[in-house]
Chains A and B, each alone.
Chain A
Amino acid sequence: MSLDRDLGGAIAATRFGLGARPGEIASARSDPRGFLLDQISLRGADLAVPDGQSSTQRLAELGAYQRDRKLALATGDAKSDPVKMAAKLIRDDAGTDFLARVQLGVKTDAGFRERWALFWANHFTVSAGKLNTATLVGPFEQEAIRPYVFGRFEDMLFASSSHPAMLLYLDQAQSVGPNSDLALLAQRAGKHPGLNENLAREILELHTVGVDAGYSQADVTEFARAMTGWSLGRTDHPEDPQGFLFRPHAHEPGARTIMGKRYGEDGQAQARAVMADLAASPHTARHLSTKIARHFVSDDPPPALVDRLTKTYLASGGRLDEVAATLIRSPEAWDPRASKFKTPYEFMISSWRATDTAPTDVAQVAKTLNEMGQKPFSAPSPKGWPEEAPAWCAPDAVVKRMTWSEGFAQGLSDRDPMQLADNALGARLSPLAAKTIARAETRPEAVTILLMSPEFQRR
């Protein structure tokens, strides 16, 4: 399919990328597909904080905090300022991580690579509801997602499912086989530790084959049994490793049958073998392909595109660089209609990109995202943030976008709005929006109209 170059450059930057920075549409114009293909990197996505703290360090900090707090509890000082301050410092780490990710999105020249990484981070959602997950979401994305986004899906699945953040978020860390040595020992002490099927269920339902793949409650339970032992070192035991730890004594002994296939007893490798099969399943290929098409192209994804992505996934053994390349080469992905409504995060990032500005404090970002319904690092469930426009286009949320845009535009009174509009939208700027921007009374008003225009609200 031939593609109008002006439109192609604009689509590359706004739909595949995170919104155009000044000059970006011009650079993409001569070869929009090549512009995107060049962003695929076998090294994975960029790290928001290349020298940032690892999850090991964060867990060690958390452990130190927990020990101090226990001490303070014993002396009745649990509510003392130092304890509160320590908790706040740990939470602040999450804010720092989030701001760094926003800044990466705002400044990167490889907008598609970053959007691709954000898609997978949302696919493997870890939410910052609890103190221990809050401090680990940033390292999780850096360690378990970004290095793998252009590699084999299976490797990312394994990295995610064995990362302390996921093990804590979906309660896997504490799951114990009912017939394991640990359970039998505990029973003598009158305790009854046992299975927690949360992570096993969500791997099946959300991360791999999807809810329609025909598995049963028995498959979920069997997979949960296979996963017992996948845990992490206790943060309050300094001698434990601060990270993934397979606990053989918590592992449910015996063979398991999951979705009709038998897996012999093999310790930690038993669940690993299940994951390999799940990653290779045609159900997974279709589930992931549908999600990708829905994210990049339309809430109602074109079946031909889903088929093409599915084929690539299966033929390449789940190689995500190949899947990304197929997406870029698919004509359906270049439909001139902008049908995706930006999430609040995408809207804000693209606003900074369009105006070549950047936030310098997490407070500039967090409060507004919170008000628009997308609290930083805090997706409402393991399913992640919703994709569909109706979820984000609530009346109140639109008013909040308008209010934020007005405030944002106040600081841009020295900019030429028509130039900004042209840079940001290129051939996607409609005559009506252009006319409305031109008729504005003040420059900030014009910039607000640009940011609130139907074409800037979509991608």
Chain B
Amino acid sequence: MSAPLTPTPAHPRESEDPGFFRPTRRGALAGALGLGLTIELLPHGAWADTATGGKKLVVIICRGGLDGLSLSPPIGDANYAPLRGAIAIAPFGAKDGALPLDDTFGLHPAMTATHALALKGEARIAPAIATPDRERSHFEAQDVLESGDAVVYATPSGWLNRAVEAMGPAGRVRALSVGATVPLILRGRIQAASWSPGGAADRDRRLPAILQDLYADDPLLGPALAAGLTTRAMAKIAASDAAMAPPPDMSQASASAMASPPMASPPMGGATMGAAPPTAQPLLKPGLAQARTLGATLAGFMIQPGGAQVAAVSLDNFDTHANQGAGQGQLAGRLAYVDAFLDGLAKELGPAWRETVVVMATEFGRTARVNGTAGTDHGTASTALVLGGALKKGGIIGDWPTLTQNRLFENRDTAPTLDMRALFKGMLRDHMGVDRAALDRVVFPGSGSVAPVAGVV
């Protein structure tokens, strides 16, 4: 508990002009930035961790339609290899083969750190999960995934934002999105912080205060600037606390890493993994280092006093229509990036990992059959990954419909056996303590018939 700050005028001249100076948020902000302290900015001056009992939740959205059959290949399903042809992940033990989870499922060979967690019971898969949307449009499916509604464009706010609202009075639980823009999942009444690496902004303490006044009646810019400055100040603490000492290449890690595709690329577009062969491989390794740093920095944000308990992360570029590769190649590069990010996050969280759940999901899966261009088209069910030291040990989450031809959805896709909302609801209820009624009505409107998944946390 810290003593509340006494607001101090940002600039002597202004104190002589009572009409101009308002000793409100502005003074507190300027003061806090000056002292390098941010905890005083907490709305209730409290350690907000008490609101969630120290529990933390990270939601990762993989955009573009992540191929679940490559992330967690059902090696033991007799139809898997024939359907997939050249892009099938090789069997357990083979070169570039899947990393075994049980007799049927493995993880993609690029997911080494995640596999190590799975062996400890700290990572599990839901291999046939889907949102209620069946249209196979990226944009509609992402809208449904993030809004939490059963139908498209029904709700302008995100379920994670409403869940944070349900966790306690405004400001008790703080949320953060990583990236230059706020994804739908965290848009809504609660002002979430957003952060992406970049230069410092608080070297001049006068200007932010002036702008705060200018934005006093601006519903968009006012809250955004206040939240941005607060987060920026916290970033300095997080960065200096992170064991990996990221600052030198953070500016590069950032913008390309999260705001845009997971394969970090130079400002002028060269480096997406994949179909364009030339530049892909050499950039793989620096991309992984950046991914790890980014995961670690996010962890730093979450473990510092007053840090975020809830975070949303977007990863792009999973739309592998062509040349998706198998144990190596385009998708393998992206999964290696995901794995490095998760590894950096888990390690840096340290003891807090025991209190953390990470859910990684995508808007839809991809066709069960390889298409004509060594890739896969838009499908239905995919795999969600759940990780964290808070998990209970267990097998797959939900049922496996198999890839038998007559079980494929519309003779084309992995059939969904689990509603995405059931998984999210389970994590929110059992880990974050959100009550069932709020989940059924507010967080996921009209989802009373979708029971939360039990027994994972």
The stretch of B263-271, B341-349, B387-395, B420-428 that contacts the partner chain: B263-271
* Residues 391-406 of chain A, each 1 if its beta carbon lies under 8 Å from chain B, else 0: 1111111111011001
Q: How many residues of B contact A (CB 8 A)?
A: 80
Q: Does A27 contact B (CB under 8 A)?
A: no
Q: Does A282 contact B (CB under 8 A)?
A: no
Q: Does B365 contact A (CB under 8 A)?
A: no
Shortest Cβ distance from residue A320 to the other chain B in the assembled complex, whole angstroms: 24
Chain A interface main SS type: helix
Across the two chains, which residue of chain B brings its CB closest to A137?
B269
Q: For chain B residues 343-384, which have a beta carbon within 8 Å of chain A? A: 370-373, 375, 377-378
Q: Is B180 a contact partner of A454 (Cβ separation < 8 A)? A: no
Across the two chains, which residue of chain B brings its CB closest to A362?
B268
The stretch of A253-261, A290-298, A303-311, A372-380 that contacts the partner chain: A372-380
Return chain B residues, CB-CB under 8 Å to A15: none
Chain A CB within 10 A, most for which of B63, B181, B214, B378 = B181
Q: Does A159 contact B (CB under 8 A)?
A: no
Q: Is B269 a contact partner of A454 (Cβ separation < 8 A)? A: no
Q: Is A129 a contact partner of B181 (Cβ separation < 8 A)? A: no
Q: Is B228 a contact partner of A196 (Cβ separation < 8 A)? A: no
* Bound-complex Cα distance A380 to B207 (A): 32
Q: Is B279 a contact partner of A396 (Cβ separation < 8 A)? A: no
Return chain A residues, CB-CB under 8 Å to B229: 395, 399
Q: How many residues of A contact B (CB 8 A)?
A: 82
* Bound-complex Cα distance A94 to B268 (A): 7
* Residues 415-459 of chain A, each 1 if its beta carbon lies under 8 Å from chain B, else 0: 000000000000000001100100111000100110011100100
Q: Does B275 contact A (CB under 8 A)?
A: yes
* Residues 279-297 of chain B, each 1 if its beta carbon lies under 8 Å from chain A, else 0: 1001000000000000000
Q: Does A269 contact B (CB under 8 A)?
A: no
Q: Does A100 contact B (CB under 8 A)?
A: no
Across the two chains, which residue of chain A brings its CB closest to B204?
A406
Shortest Cβ distance from residue A65 to the other chain B in the assembled complex, whole angstroms: 7
Return chain A residues, CB-CB under 8 Å to B230: 395
Q: Which of A129, A211, A433 contacts B317, CB < 8 Å?
A: A129
* Bound-complex Cα distance A36 to B156 (A): 34
Q: For chain B residues 151-193, which have a beta carbon within 8 Å of chain A? A: 177, 179-182, 187, 191, 193
Return chain B residues, CB-CB under 8 Å to A64: none
Return chain B residues, CB-CB under 8 Å to A366: 267-268
The stretch of B98-106, B194-202, B438-446 that contacts the partner chain: B194-202
The stretch of A37-45, A51-59, A168-176 that contacts the partner chain: A168-176
Shortest Cβ distance from residue B266 to the other chain A in the assembled complex, whole angstroms: 8
Known contacts A92-B268, A129-B317, A398-B221; A454 and B214 CB within 8 A of each other: yes
Q: Is A193 a contact partner of B259 (Cβ separation < 8 A)? A: no
The stretch of B1-9, B22-30, B133-141, B300-308 that contacts the partner chain: B133-141
* Bound-complex Cα distance A448 to B210 (A): 11
What are 7 residue pairs bridging A and B, where the CB atoms are less than 8 Å apart in the complex?
A: A362-B268, A380-B260, A390-B187, A395-B229, A402-B201, A436-B210, A449-B207
Binding site for A on B (CB under 8 A): 20, 63-64, 85, 135-140, 177, 179-182, 187, 191, 193-196, 198-201, 204, 206-208, 210-211, 213-215, 218, 220-221, 223-232, 251, 254-256, 259-261, 265-270, 272, 274-276, 278-279, 282, 316-317, 319, 321-322, 370-373, 375, 377-378, 410
